[in-house]
Amino acid sequence: MWTVGICLSLLLSCANREKKKATNGPKTMEKYRKPGVIESLEFHMTPGEEDGFILADKKTWLPFLQTYPAFIRKEYWKDCKKQGVVRIVIYWESLSGWKSVTDVEQQKVYDNFHKLFPKENYELRSSTQYKYVGGYGETIK
C-alpha cells in the first residue's frame, strides 16, 4: 500500500513541475535562447561608483537594447579582486542583429546615460566579441 502512496506522490510532483514549466511562458524562456555572439565590455571607474554605473546602464541602455529582436540578455559583473571594475556581457542572437544598432541611436542613449553617470567618471578599457560555439551537454560541430 505504501508503494501506491509513493507512486501517487511522484505523479503529483511531476504534474506540478510540468504545470510550473507551462506557466513560465515564452518570455521567461526568451533569455535562454542560444546566443550567436556575445559582447564583453570592461569599464573602469572610481572605486565605489560601480552601483551607480550599473543603475544608470539599467535605466538607459538595457531598455533600449530590449527593443531589438536580436538582443537576448545582459549581465553585469563586478570584479572580485579590483574595485572600480565592471564587466558587462551582452548576449545577441546574431552578429548582424547586434550591428543593426545604428550610431545615431547609440549616441542618443549615450547622451541619456551621461546625464545619469558623466563620461568623465568612467573609461571603457576593453571591448571584445565572442562567437558562441556550444555549452554544457551540447555537441560542438
Q: Report pLDDT digits (tens) over 86-132.
A: 999 999 999 888 899 999 999 999 999 999 999 999 999 999 999 98
- pLDDT for position 23: 38
Work out the burial of residue 86: count CB atoms within 10 Å of its CB; fewer than 13 is exposed, 13-18 middle, 19 or more buried.
Answer: buried
Beta strands (DSSP E) in the chain are 37-45, 71-78, 85-92, 122-131
Please state the domain extents for the chain.
37-131
- pLDDT for position 20: 42
CATH T-level fold of 37-131: Alpha-Beta Plaits (3.30.70)
Query: Vertex 128, ends 116 and 103: CA angle to 5°?
Result: 55
pLDDT, one tens digit per residue, over 15-65 is: 444 444 433 334 445 556 788 899 999 999 999 999 999 999 999 999 999
pLDDT, one tens digit per residue, over 58-96 is: 999 999 999 999 999 999 999 999 999 999 999 999 988
- Which pTM value belongs to this model? 0.73
